[in-house]
């Protein structure tokens, strides 16, 4: 609005009062100067300012007499709001924490938006300070990389720092994929081993099945074999020892799903041959 009034050569009316003419000024000249000032102030400058307001604010400020009073009222109101906004952005900047579930580069970009808002509010932040802030706000799993960056003596720009973060994030992603393939290989070997153990147990199949049904008191109903383990017991009462599991204990199933672990313990199965399987 100030720029607009300047292009119309009306900006002086937001700071000037009605001109005071020298004694002895002819009445005709006094009348012309006063009327010209009132016209420019009341009917041009003031109307342009009011026209720039939202509709609901027009009625609030339309009764103000002069452009100067109108401008001062608006400036007082919105300077207070600007101060509140500055405090809000500062709090948002100080409270910002990076998390593991989102990419670091994405979160750095979010932080840069907040920093840009602070710069727009007139706060001064050079590149060195911004880089230090980004380093300090890296998530916990980046601890080693954060310590590495802290020992670097050469100052770098925010853009160069972003390149470093992208390279490190790509490296971590590659390591995670490699670790995932290794884990899959281990799981496959484990499942093959469990399968072999189960085949060995089936040699005494009928006796083992009868022992399970008699000892565990299972009903004649279907059970889903998840492939997670061959150590399954449906009756809590026949455990010789039992410890409830923590609430966050979960079992990784063969179908890549998880199931809550209720507890762990021992069950003694007496075979028809007289042997006891624990």
pLDDT per residue as tens digits for the range 17-63: 877 777 777 878 878 888 888 888 887 888 889 988 888 888 888 88
Residues 91 and 168 both lie in one domain = yes
Mean pLDDT for 197-204 is 62
Residue 197 lies in a domain: no
End-to-end CA distance of the chain: 85
Q: How many distinct structural domains can be found in the chain?
A: 3
Mean pLDDT for 63-67 is 86
End-of-domain residue from the set 82, 102, 137: 82
pLDDT at residue 133 in the model = 85
End-of-domain residue from the set 56, 82, 108: 82
Residues 75 and 93 both lie in one domain = no
Residue 161 lies in a domain: yes
pLDDT at residue 129 in the model = 84
Count of Cβ atoms closer than 10 Å to residue 104 Cβ:
23
Tokens 């995932």 belong to residue: 180
Model's pTM, two decimal places? 0.35
Residues 68 and 12 both lie in one domain = yes
Residue 217 lies in a domain: yes
pLDDT digits (tens, 9 = 90+) for 90-143: 888 888 888 888 888 888 888 888 888 888 777 777 888 888 888 888 888 888
Residues 70 and 100 both lie in one domain = no
How wide is the angle at C-alpha 266 spanned by C-alphas 261 and 271, nearest 5°?
A: 125
Residue 201 lies in a domain: no
For residues 271 and 207, the answer to whether their CB atoms sit within 8 Å is: yes
d(CA 256, CA 48): 67
pLDDT digits (tens, 9 = 90+) for 240-258: 898 898 888 887 766 677 8
pLDDT at residue 21 in the model = 75
Residues 154 and 89 both lie in one domain = yes
Tell whether the model's pLDDT for residue 206 goes beyond 50: no
d(CA 239, CA 252): 23
- Distance from CA of residue 207 to its chain's centroid? 58
pLDDT at residue 215 in the model = 45
Tell whether the model's pLDDT for residue 163 goes beyond 70: yes
pLDDT at residue 198 in the model = 66
Does residue 214 sit in helix, strand or coil? helix
Residue 199 lies in a domain: no
- Distance from CA of residue 254 to its chain's centroid? 33
Residue 194 lies in a domain: no
How wide is the angle at C-alpha 107 spanned by C-alphas 140 and 170, nearest 5°?
A: 75
Residues 78 and 89 both lie in one domain = no
Residue 235 lies in a domain: yes
Residues 59 and 91 both lie in one domain = no
Whole domain around residue 104: which residue ranges? 84-180
d(CA 43, CA 65): 11
Residues 94 and 159 both lie in one domain = yes
Residue 189 lies in a domain: no
End-of-domain residue from the set 48, 82, 116: 82
- Per-residue tokens: 57: 């604010």
- Per-residue tokens: 121: 């509010």
d(CA 237, CA 171): 51
Residues 91 and 169 both lie in one domain = yes
């Amino acid at each position: 609005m100030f720029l607009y009034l300047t292009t119309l050569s009306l900006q002086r009316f937001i700071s000037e009062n009605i001109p005071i003419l020298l004694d002895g000024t002819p009445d005709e000249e006094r009348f012309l100067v006063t009327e010209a000032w009132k016209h420019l102030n009341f009917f041009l400058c003031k109307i342009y300012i009011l026209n720039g307001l939202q509709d609901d604010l027009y009625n609030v400020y339309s009764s103000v007499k002069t452009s100067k009073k109108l401008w001062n009222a608006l400036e007082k109101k919105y300077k207070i709001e600007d101060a509140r906004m500055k405090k809000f952005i500062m709090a948002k900047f100080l409270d910002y924490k990076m998390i593991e579930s989102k990419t670091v580069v994405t979160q750095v970009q979010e932080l840069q938006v907040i920093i840009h808002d602070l710069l727009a509010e007139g706060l001064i932040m050079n590149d060195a300070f911004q880089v230090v802030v980004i380093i300090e706000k890296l998530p916990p799993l980046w601890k080693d990389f954060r310590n590495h960056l802290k020992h670097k003596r050469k100052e770098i720009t925010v853009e160069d720092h972003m390149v470093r973060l992208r390279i490190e994030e790509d490296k971590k992603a590659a390591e995670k994929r490699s670790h995932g393939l290794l884990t899959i290989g281990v799981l496959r070997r484990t499942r093959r081993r469990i399968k072999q153990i189960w085949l060995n147990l089936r040699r005494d199949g009928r006796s083992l099945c009868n022992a399970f049904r008699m000892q565990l008191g299972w009903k004649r109903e279907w059970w889903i074999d998840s492939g997670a383990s061959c150590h399954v017991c449906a009756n809590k009462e026949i455990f010789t020892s039992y410890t409830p599991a923590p609430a966050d204990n979960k079992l990784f199933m063969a179908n890549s799903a998880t199931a809550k672990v209720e507890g762990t313990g021992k069950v003694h199965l007496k075979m028809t041959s007289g042997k006891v399987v624990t």
